[in-house]
Amino acid sequence: MKCKLSIQEKLKDLRRWFVCVSVFQFFLIYNYMCGIVGYIGNREAFPILVKGLKRLEYRGYDSAGVALISKDNNLNVYKTKGKVADLEAYCADKDITGSVGIAHTRWATHGEPSSVNAHPHYSESKNLAIIHNGIIENYADLKKKLQENGVVFRSDTDTEVLVQLVEYIQNKKEVDLLTAVQVALHQVIGAYAVALLDKNNPRQIIAARKQSPLVVGIGENEFFLGSDASPIVEYTDKVVYLEDGNIAVMAPGEELKVVDVFNEKQNAEVKKVNLNLGQIEKGGYPHFMLKEIFEQPECLKTCMLGRINSEGSHVTLSAVLDYRKQLISAKRIIIVACGTSWHAGLIGKQMIENLCRIPVEVEYASEFRYRNPVVGTGDVVIAISQSGETADTLAAVKLAKEKGAFIYGICNAVGSSIPRATDTGSYIHVGPEIGVASTKAFTGQVTVLTMLALALGNVMGTVSHDDYISIVKGLQAIPDKIREVLKLNERIADLSRTFTYARNFLYLGRGFSYPVALEGALKLKEISYIHAEGYPAAEMKHGPIALIDSDMPVVVIATHNDLYEKVLSNIQEIKARKGRVIALVSKGDDTISKLADEVIELPDTLECLEPLIATIPLQLMAYHVAVCKGKDVDQPRNLAKSVTVE
């Protein structure tokens, strides 16, 4: 009589069998820009999946696809190049019945954007379908071994390798889907969030994550799956955030099962998601970006809520209270970030150095992690990331932590990977940011960095009482001053139309305004595809001045501060070379106003708080230039919300 092996015994046997293809290395090179959605229950799956994809489309929009197990028990996969709307149109005459399905919107990594490379991917028999976020680093080796064993591939993607591997194990060793997935993932080098359907087990979805987020929503005899909570929140507020190494088995009528690759049961803590449906909808605005620009006054009030008292006399950050010793004893602070977050870090550097007298370095996380940095005990590393999932920043955090540094995270997404990896930190609490070009996250990050500098400087006694009170009250007044700037929207829209012809822009600023110039240039590049460069105004003479002519618009941040006269001189140099100057000036300025071609007046505030105000018209100008040029503002080409791939 043939005895039946236990799952653990099968796994043990399979690990021995598969050791020849296993290479135990790990590279933090991945993306989660793609969006994953899943549903299993009693409702029609397709409408839920499509709506979910639209809410996740900011993560990637090269192609989209869906896999459904129909009422006739067929596993139907439909996919197409383009956006979710293209997928909807493609499926108009297809069989989209079924109450179980998975769907995906893609940002291409391996394999060019095409219908063939779009997810989901079938296994060779077409009994399995998979969707995947991430990169399988050893896919080429695995693919070669599978091809040697007769497996035929249909696409160029690393993802197809995984589903073919799962099926190969499933058939070769006669194991169920869960066991095959466990063994396959044990062989994979890289990062992933995956979901699989099995035609032969139509009332089950298996999902797994490693270094790429997945959220399971729990309803009444139904489950939802998403890269984040936005596709889920309409249907349930009960969610489980899967941890690294988790494999979830979703089957209606059963409890959520969470195990690891060794089939050991894992904790599946059910949490209540705090996400307002209105936050992930446009609310009457033509684009998410414009909505998020206009949300900034309220977002910053929320960011400061409970942290600045009503009298505007004190800043309280729990992280500073709880970890006072580690922070005040810092020999130096290193800020690691990417993109817009890096620009926020440059402003934070000046705030911390001015108020706390601690030396601060600002590093691109992508460079920091690879250059064998000198970091260790006595250093505080501040990691800034809107998503909390940015691969380079997360890798920098882990590197610094291994070397003994104290880690402080500044993120927006509650429960994301970076907050879990840090010692402490502060959320910016600005709500979901859907537009790919970051706006409210930037001002939220700057606000938190300002509060951190104030709270720490006050504890250390490195900021005078008068300066402390002045900055706190000034910060408290920022939301109203942003509202005042937003009233200029129509004028900035009219102004922007005159600059759609430009092929190049130069943005100049000094001191606290220099990072604003960098951020303004980045916004224009991201959504209008006009080349733009941010530069310290004083450095213009050391190269960029050669570019200036009558076709070169130059945006200059020239508010009243200690460097006003210097910036005035820079404007005169530009005008002498027939450059067109758009100047951001303090209200009532009557000097630069006579020199500049266009002037945008800003309400007065303290110099250190000017970035929070000056960035607003630059966001609006980038937006309106892009709209005038007919560009897709919320989903600019080649970009995704979180850049987490090398």
Residue 541 known to be catalytic: no
Q: Helices (DSSP H) in 26-122: which residue ranges? A: 45-56, 84-90
CA–CA gap between residue 449 and residue 304 (Å, rounded): 11
* Beta carbons within 8 Å of 187's beta carbon, 6+ residues apart: 18, 21, 22, 138, 142, 165
CA–CA gap between residue 290 and residue 443 (Å, rounded): 15
Q: How many beta carbons lie within 10 A of that of residue 413, not counting itself? A: 22
Beta strand ranges found along 257-364 (DSSP E)? 257-259, 271-272, 332-337, 360-364
The enclosing H or E element of 37 equals strand 35-40
Residue 34 known to be catalytic: yes
Catalytic-role residue among 34, 338, 356, 411:
34
SS3 377: coil
Q: How many beta carbons lie within 10 A of that of residue 141, not counting itself? A: 16
**Tokens standing for 317?**
């950050």
Catalytic-role residue among 81, 210, 349, 641:
641
CA–CA gap between residue 433 and residue 59 (Å, rounded): 11
* Beta carbons within 8 Å of 151's beta carbon, 6+ residues apart: 124, 164, 168
CA–CA gap between residue 353 and residue 637 (Å, rounded): 38
Closest CA to 104 of 78, 126, 75: 78
- In terms of phi and psi (left: phi > 0; alpha: psi -120 to 50; beta: otherwise), the region of 386 is alpha
**Tokens standing for 453?**
């500098």
CA–CA gap between residue 597 and residue 592 (Å, rounded): 10
Q: What is the DSSP string of 11-31?
A: HHHHHHHTGGG----------
> Among all chains, which residue has been given the structure tokens 């969610």?
239
SS3 225: strand
Omega before 359 within 30 of 0, i.e. cis? no
* Beta carbons within 8 Å of 92's beta carbon, 6+ residues apart: none
- In terms of phi and psi (left: phi > 0; alpha: psi -120 to 50; beta: otherwise), the region of 306 is left
Beta strand ranges found along 355-405 (DSSP E)? 360-364, 379-385
Closest CA to 167 of 130, 138, 131: 130
Q: Which residues are catalytic?
A: 34, 641
